[in-house]
Amino acid sequence: MPVAARLSRSSVLAAVIVAACDAGPPAAPFPEPETQPPSSEMQFPFSPPPPPGDGEGFFLQPHFGQTVTQPHAPPALGGASLALSPGGDLAFATDPDRDRVVIVDLVTQRARSVALLPGDEPGRLVTDGPNRVHVVLDRAGSVATIDATSATVVARRAVCPAPVGIARDASTLYVACTGGEVVALPTHPAGAPRVLARVDRDLRDIVVSGDNLLVSRLRSAEVLRVRKADGALFSRATRAPSGSLADRLEPFVAWRMVPSGAGGAVVVHQMARAASIDPGAPSGYASFGPCGGTVDTAITRFEPATTTDDVITTPHNLVGQAVTPVDIARSPTGRYWAVVAAGNGHTPSLPQVHIVGLGAAEQCAFQGPKAHDRAGKEGQAVAVAFRPDDSLVILSREPAALHLQTVDDLLRPNGGRQTILLGGESREDTGHAIFHSNTGGNVACVSCHPGGADDGRVWRFSTGDRRTQTLQGTLAGTAPYHWTGDAPALSTFATDVFMARMAGPPLDKAQTEALDRWMTRIPAAVVSPPADAEARARGEALFGSQAVGCAGCHSGPKLTNNESVDVGTGGTFQVPSLLGLALRAPYLHDGRAPTLLDRFSAAGGGEEHGHTSELGPADLDDLVTYLESL
């Protein structure tokens, strides 16, 4: 199936963006992107396998058009958010691509842009009455408070190194941080934050549930129940695996958690098929039906029990063809749930917003692309919200816009909509688009690498168990790649993985280079510093000592010598980077070590993997403290 060339969506609309609103320029000017015309030169001929049956609508591949590379790489998808004022007439949208928040009057359709600092990457936000909003600045470690009347930032408060989720009750904001901190701070802009709890790392979203907080974890798709009064963690829950051993589904990657409307929360997450995968089989990662592939999308409700500390999980639908489900919203009447499938943004015939009910578990909720109109033909949907009348507000990127649409119009082919353009320079980047796109096999690179990191899973391959590798800050200058170093360059992934295993379209040389350039600029994870700085210093000394021998292989800026060695763990494997190690459990190539401390057991290679057998428990604790700080 050839890759069709098309005009850049942002260039088509460029002439009308300025006249449509007064959103103004981005927070900071971006250098001009590099563009290359579409190329007919493919790396080698490729004919994708036919889908089962007639396959109508099920083998629709993305179109990337003119190749564009941004000098300043756009961040991975998953952070952009949308919230409405209580009356539903004012919309607040975060735009991490341009480091800004846009305030839109949905009645007059006037948009105002609030510039933030370069690199802030605004993410989740929560309204505070009709005229104030609090926004998490993911890469700045802060929460910004914005006054809607003046469209200005009235406060910036540092909360933790990597804040991601935010919720509010009458007087307090609660922030979930990747490092495991749950921070409380007054809604008043002058209030100081305090760490309410330190729980498991890899937190994502947070929801107020009566006297408790429900906090999701990204990779494991767990929901933790934390008491607001003292920060005590007293229960946790996950959706139970389902299916037979041969076709078992397991939850992972909780993209978004929102209030359920009944005192609990609803999570849209992925389900992984635990059956063995043959990486050499054509389209081995793909599915040509709406559900049933290596990765599916699911909805699960989490409601605290009234008489116990438990959280009761209710599994609901699989959502067919909902690749990269970055957002979910509940209609005020409870009639609908809307799921944003951002991975379909470059495939014109696939729905980007799915309207589903909370039906029986494992039922594949799918009506087919002909029953949906593409929500926001001018851009890629990244967030959604409902107005009080159950109509939709959809946030898209490239170009940045809000789309106002009724559910009936969304479900009707070529249904009407109003579009409010938000302005700002284009941030279209072909490498970013390829990484986040449904290949045509209902899977995307980001399905297993959320945020450019990893999914925390150990996959059963016919060649042996393999734990997903992180890409955050670890690729540039560390070739060869893959567990055994069998990929000499990142271009190998464009052919052997994206095309052959994931059923993606063939990528030409310019597209492959754009993917390489975007992936090698994924920033390293932000890790919280250890509570005991002295323990870290002792651990660093042990790590660097010749007697222990860690630094012999884990050297240089990425803490790897790029070699493949046998360290007694079952074969010869590439020395991994140690950057962001605290967020990468389980450990080793097959995930055999649940924790870093387990890595230093005999199963971790013993004396062949560093000389640590003579270290006592205190020394090992210090060494782990140092490793978790990298």
Per-residue pLDDT tens over the stretch 143-177: 999 999 999 999 999 999 999 999 999 999 999 99
Please count the residues of the chain.
630
State if pTM tops 0.75.
Answer: yes
Residue 435 pLDDT exceeds 90: yes
Residues 207-224 have pLDDT tens digits of: 999 999 999 999 999 999
Cis (ω within 30 of 0) for the bond into 38?
A: no
- Beta carbons within 8 Å of 524's beta carbon, 6+ residues apart: 472, 473, 474, 579, 580
- HEC per residue, 408-475: HHHHCCCCCCEEEECCCCCCCCHHHHHHHCCCCCCCCHHHHCHHHCCCCCEEEECCEEEECCCCCCCC
> DSSP character for 523?
P
Residue 94 pLDDT exceeds 90: yes
Residue 57 pLDDT exceeds 70: no
Euclidean distance between CA atoms 519 and 74, whole angstroms: 11
| DSSP assignments along 478-495, one per residue | --SBSTTS-BSSTHHIII
Question: Residue 462 is which amino acid?
Answer: S
pLDDT at residue 44, as a whole number: 22
- Beta carbons within 8 Å of 281's beta carbon, 6+ residues apart: none
Residues 564-615 have pLDDT tens digits of: 999 999 999 999 999 999 999 999 999 999 999 999 988 899 899 999 999 9
CA-based radius of gyration for the chain = 24
Cβ–Cβ under 8 Å, residues 507 and 514: no
Residue (of 289, 352, 342, 296) closest to 319 by Cα position: 296
Residues 316-359 have pLDDT tens digits of: 989 999 999 999 999 999 888 999 999 999 998 888 999 988 88
Q: How confident is the model at residue 288 (pLDDT cuts 50, 70, 90)?
A: confident
Q: How confident is the model at residue 25 (pLDDT cuts 50, 70, 90)?
A: very low
Euclidean distance between CA atoms 590 and 468, whole angstroms: 9
Q: How confident is the model at residue 8 (pLDDT cuts 50, 70, 90)?
A: very low
pLDDT at residue 32, as a whole number: 65
- Beta carbons within 8 Å of 195's beta carbon, 6+ residues apart: 160, 181, 182, 183, 231
Please name the helix (run of DSSP H) or strand (run of DSSP E) that holds residue 226, with its range, or none.
Answer: strand 223-227
Residues 113-151 have pLDDT tens digits of: 999 999 999 999 999 988 999 999 999 999 999 999 999
Residues 75-88 have pLDDT tens digits of: 999 999 999 999 99
Average pLDDT on 59-69 reads 90
Residue 443 pLDDT exceeds 50: yes
Euclidean distance between CA atoms 497 and 285, whole angstroms: 9
Average pLDDT on 421-432 reads 95
Mean pLDDT, the chain, whole residue set: 88
Average pLDDT on 450-475 reads 95
pLDDT at residue 31, as a whole number: 63
- Beta carbons within 8 Å of 544's beta carbon, 6+ residues apart: 550, 551
Domains in the chain with CATH codes = 9-431 (2.130.10.10), 533-627 (1.10.760.10)
Residues 505-519 have pLDDT tens digits of: 999 999 999 999 999
> DSSP character for 540?
H
